[in-house]
Amino acid sequence: MSQEIIKTEYSDIMQKSYIDYAMSVIVARALPDVRDGLKPVQRRTLYDMHELGIRSDRPYRKCARIVGDTMGKYHPHGDSSIYEALVVMTQDFKKGLPLVDGHGNFGSIEGDGAAAMRYTEARLQKVSEEALLADLDKNIVDFVPNFDETEKEPSVLPARIPHLLINGAEGIAVGMSTSIPPHNLGETIDAMKAYMKNPDLTVEELLQIMPGPDFPTGGIVVNKDELVDIYKTGSGKIKIRGKVEVEKLKGGKEQLIITEIPYTMIGANIGKFLNDIGTLVETKKTTDIVDITNQSSKEGIRIVLELKKGADTEQLTNMLYKKTRLEDTFGVNMLAVADGRPETLGLKQIFDHVIDFQFELNTRKYRTLLNKELDKKEIQEGLIKACDVIDLIIEILRGSRDLKMAKACLMSGETDGIHFKSQASKKQAAKLRFTERQATAILEMRLYKLIGLEIEALIKEHDATMKHIARYSEILNNYDEMAKVIMQELDQYKKSYAVPRKTVIENAKEVVYVEKKIEEMPVVFLMDRFGYCRTVDIATYERNKEAADTESRHVLTCRNTDRLCIFTSNGKLHTVKVQELPFGKFRDKAFPIDNYCNYDSAQEQMVYICSMEELLLGNILFVSKYGMSKVVSGMEYDVRTKTSAATKLNDGDEVLFAAVLGEQTQVVLQSAEGYFLRFAVSEIPEKKKAAIGVRSMKLGEKDSLEAVYLLDSKIEHTIHYKEKEVLLNKLKLGGRDQKGTKIRC
């Protein structure tokens, strides 16, 4: 076998391969088809259930069986993706129109996961059978080979409803994502019918019929006027609010009841919402909330906020909208596969594709039905004609040597070799011209069909067939008739499956929430060696000074309106607002500093903490483990982000020491091998924070810095090094980038 080496640019191969991979993910995995609104994994799962006969009127079957069969036949991409898709299709809080009927634990709106597939059971919903899987036997859609070409699967399901809009879709592909909100089935069908009758309808007119999204969780869409642009372009942001009710209690007290949540809060975000309310209480943003209880159940959401007597419920509601996810944004990007490629579609474009698909489905369906009726007509006419000459046919059969001879006589009048009773019969037989189908039907006809009533039934059946042929031909040849049939089917689905709208669409005023001005005061920040922190007022600290200093790793005086700056070993700066930290009595509960900023104690070490006010008024000195140092102006750290770069480091290096410079004029560097170097701080140059710095001490090949000390020349500074007292002020004064003096013990 001859081989040929093809020389090509590696970049060209990589580009082509990546594009092929991206298109595979986009078209075959992540994005729904505009025609049936399903991703491949959903389509294959539903079709497999249809093939397994797991219908709505039959017993449930184990999900493991469904997942295994789908993976083995159609979707070889892992069982977890198939089961997750199956679970989502059962959840009525994610889908306005669930496609699968689940039996068992399929998760909850609060983010609880479904039970393992070996425990849960499922079957198709009736709407899936009628609106997505019906008529697959009528050559209504194309079937394509599966991944190993051992089975056939539909390239698209024959969806009779605008399913993409009704259930929406979410998916992340390579370089693109889709996010389509769900809509009300009845309204969507009405809008589609109106558009079929008048394709010149504008988006504004369609939105009068179908006002906007209808989320299964209800809620309030508050930017109604912006929906027109969203549905024209296929992208934009929908603002959703949860529904809050005020409930009066005995004694003049009131409580807030959250009965509906934004669609984006489904899952773990409910827990985060409750934590956010708890944080507002802990940080004294509000003192009106006494207790929070989540009384949600299968009947619906019910989150109760118990309030103090005389609480301002309107102000508190506005605070919840502003400070938590009770008001959130749903990003719309109506991206779907249309004509084999991904495309962002507006409302009218989606309807165009869906309506074209409906006409294609019905054309193929009625063409198949017409061909079947034409075949029946041919056979029926042959049998009726045969009944009129049944004696002659019996004579042909009795006089023929074999079936072939009799069939030839019926089809073309060949009488050679057939024994007839009379010459007249032979002449009559020679005139017979039945078609092959008719001849076969006559030869297979049973004698009881010659009964008078059976012949009458055959004639009636033929009349019915002729009516069907006329009806199917009319539908196929008349656009208006086919449109009428499509709209009648849509009316049936609306009658059977439409439900009242849950989401309110309105133009609401922007929430106005004015925070109470914090009374500025000095506080003391305390953090123990485990990273648990809190703040107390100055008087509380002074009363408990000895215990506070003993138990705390960091003690820092700052203002409650200031921010704390945390410098870490990997060269990052984390900031945290002091007012967000718990404030109270000395023995009140403390919380980990990780809760209030992006600091991760598992990945980095805290090197230095100071207040932003102190930092901006001075310069900060950095010294790294391998001897690089620099001074940076504190003004460079006047940032509002929670995390930013504090300094640049060489590979493998880390920040060993950082401190805001004050009265200190000298620095002492101590290495792991016992070398000490004392020199003036002024020898370390001022650099930008993006600079690595200069070498401050010559270190041996395996040596590194172990400690850094800042000295005030007027104050003696003594340390213990290997059980020996070392007076740092008396060390030989050298210069930067020297080896230093070795202390021998």
Q: Please return the burial class of 416, using the count of CB atoms within 10 Å of its CB with bins 0-12, 13-18 and 19+.
A: exposed
Tokens of 348: 């009218």
DSSP string, 228-281: HHHHHHSEEEEEEE-EEEEEE-GGG-EEEEEEE--GGG-THHHHHHHHHHHHHH
Residue 93, strand partner residues: none
Among candidate residues 18, 21, 119, 479, the one labeled active-site is 119
Distance from C-alpha of 417 to C-alpha of 398, rounded to nearest angstrom: 12
Closest by CA to 157, choosing from 363, 354, 345, 346, is 354
Q: Please report how many Cα atoms fall inside a 13 Å half-sphere around the Cα of residue 518, on the Cβ side.
A: 15
Residues 676 and 670 sit within 8 Å (Cβ to Cβ):
yes
User: If you compute the radius of gyration of the chain from its CA atoms, what whole number of angstroms results?
Assistant: 40
Tokens encoding 596: 């209030």
Dist. CA 362–CA 354, nearest whole Å: 12
**The two three-digit tokens of residue 230, written as one number:** 């969203």
Q: How far is CA 82 from the centre of its chain?
A: 15
Integer angstrom CA distances of residue 496 from 126, 130, 187, 267, 499? 10, 11, 14, 30, 9
119 counts as catalytic: yes
**CA dist., res. 525 & res. 563, Å (int):** 11
End-to-end CA distance of the chain, in Å? 78
Assigned token pair, 559: 């203002």
Pairing of strands 705-711, 666-671: antiparallel
- Give the integer Cα–Cα distance in Å for 542 and 548: 9
Find where tokens 């994005």 sit. 31
Closest by CA position to 61, among listed 107, 100, 112 = 100
Dihedral sign computed on CA atoms, order 290, 291, 292, 297: negative
- Alpha-carbon dihedral angle through residues 267, 272, 274, 277, given to the nearest 10 degrees: -150
Residue 193, H or E segment: helix 185-197
> Is 32 within 8 Å of 95 (Cβ atoms)?
no
Catalytic residue IDs: 119
